[in-house]
Structure 1
Amino acid sequence: MSPLRWTTKSTRRLAGELTRQGHRVGADTVGDLLREEGFSLQANAKTIEGSPHSDRDAQFRYINEQAKAHMDAGQPVISVDTKKKELVGDYRNVGREWRPAGVNG
């Protein structure tokens, strides 16, 4: 099993490293060789980690109940979001890497 399965280096950087090691080659040739060996340039995949906190819905229900109670009493209610911004959903992770064709991850 080869220890090199994918890389984040560009073909230009790979060509530079190979040239430094005594193998004069251009970036286009590196790309051609990678394709011949079954590699393709693939976009990064978004990984979904963790699970929602079990008290999340309970927290929002409590806040909603408090807001309604204060509004019913004629008191003003101000909502301030102070938590860290969190991307929700499958947002694209830009960038591409050379990997064996058909291999994710």
Structure 2
Amino acid sequence: MTSLLMKIFICPIGVIVSAWLFPGVRYGAYYQPIIVGLILAVVGVLMEYMLLKKGTLWISTFMDFAASVLIVYFVSNWFPGAAVTFFGAILTGALLAITEHFTHLWLIQSGRTQKAPA
């Protein structure tokens, strides 16, 4: 739950910052990067639940990068007035992967990745 709350804020902010910083990332309205960020947050939490545990930090970070690139590229280009190049999606995915790496590190170190028996 903590991870979802963090991602609900971090992912949209990361996409908005990417639109300001990187060439090839342009949105026609402010709600568009927020929606993309919320989709990334939900997918990221599901991926963490499936993949993240002690010993999978780098694999989880790389998978988050790959998923972020694909989601940012394809979902963003569905919006009218938005234009994201594949290179722009790679840059956005890299920025998000950096934030995810530190989030994963914190989750692993705090023991929040332990799965309780059913």
TM-score normalised by length of structure 1:
0.30
Q: Which has the larger radius of gyration?
A: 1
Q: Give TM-score, length-normalised by structure 2.
A: 0.28
Which is strand-richer, 1 or 2? 1
